[in-house]
Amino acid sequence: MEEVAIIADSKGKGFEFAKGVYEYLKNKGEGFSVRLIDIERTKFKDGEVKIRIGSNIRNAKCFLIHDSNKDPYEWFTELVFKLEAMNFSSPEEINVILPYTKFARQDRKDESRVSVNAKALADVISLYATRGMTVDLHNPQMQEYFSIPFDNLYSFISLVNYLKKNHPDIFQDLVVVSPDLGGGKRAEYLVKKLLNIGVKADVAFGYKTREKENEVARTVIIGEVKDKNCLIIDDIIDTGNTMIKTAEKLREIGAKKIFAYGTHGLFTGGTERFKIFDRVLVSDTLKAPETGNLEIVSLVKLFGEAIYRTVIGKSLSVLFGDNEDISKDCEI
């Protein structure tokens, strides 16, 4: 029987996510066995670390679910060392699962003498891994930097299912709002997914001018939002300044309910200012802070189903809602 190993750090904040993926695969369990394997870490007095895979993974299909909650530099360093340790352990495959891909925003050379961090990350992963997987990359074109197959999942199917179950009223007179023009394709993609379930939504855009980094000076809304329910979407909520300014403008114009969804909730500026939203939705790729109007859209089943399909050699296109229906036993 084929053996699958889910490798994760039991001491990390992201372990519950990895454990959930493991449980999903264990319940599927068709034609393969699955184990959850811990990462052992020895830390020396000078700050250096030694990484060891906790159990034998020889000839196993390995899926490293790397904890996204770490400091970016610790995240990158430990990722390299984990891959090195796995490479010396003679697995059949090394699959890297990055719930949130750090350094993806530095994806191009926009001025002289700068590092293209996204490419450096892709180069390192490609040295060790058989394939990789993430969700809602900041720039999907980053996939081209990898010399291995690297799947970028989309979380919208999970978002739509969550809203259907918990907030169906938001679909009435809905406008999907991109907080900037650059996110227009993301908004249009969600509108297309909504149409597949019979929900017709319009699109609106925020246009912003900046005077300083992370500081929005002025926001203009392009599109009809008066007396509409609005869902502002983005891939990352960092400080949230752009989303908040967009919400303030929507309130000023006369929008009804205002929801926000960001796949990866960093909340580097805290959550206090997000009270302007009726609901703030984020996924569980990062450990979210607890606050009154914050809700979690779990992507455990999305990743679990993607890994399952990778193991058995089945297409991932169903996870984009394009080619076939997803049965209830694997609803994501």
Active site residue 45: no
Residue 268 has pLDDT above 60, yes or no: yes
Q: Extract the runs of DSSP E, i.e. beta strands, from the chain.
A: 2-8, 32-43, 49-53, 61-65, 93-98, 131-135, 150-153, 174-178, 202-212, 215-222, 229-237, 258-265, 279-283, 294-297
- Model confidence over 184-194: pLDDT tens digits? 889 999 998 89
- Over residues 209-237, the mean pLDDT reads 83
Span 247-263, average pLDDT? 96
Per-residue b/e over 147-173, b at no fewer than 16 CB within 10 Å? ebebbbbbbbbbbbbbbeeebeebbeb
Q: Tokens representing 234? A: 């983005």
Percent of the chain with pLDDT over 90: 79
How confident is the model over 33-43, as pLDDT tens digits?
999 999 999 99
Catalytic one of 82, 102, 119, 208:
208
Residues 92-116 have pLDDT tens digits of 999 999 999 999 998 888 888 999 9
Domains and CATH numbers, the chain: 2-154+300-330 (3.40.50.2020), 156-297 (3.40.50.2020)
pTM as predicted: 0.93
Q: Mean pLDDT, the chain, as a whole number?
A: 92
The residue type of 209 is T
Q: What is the pLDDT of residues 157-172, one digit of tens each?
A: 999 999 999 999 999 9
Determine the average pLDDT of the residues in 176-202. 91
pLDDT above 70 (res 47): yes
Q: Please tell me whether residue 314 adopts helix, strand or coil conformation.
A: coil
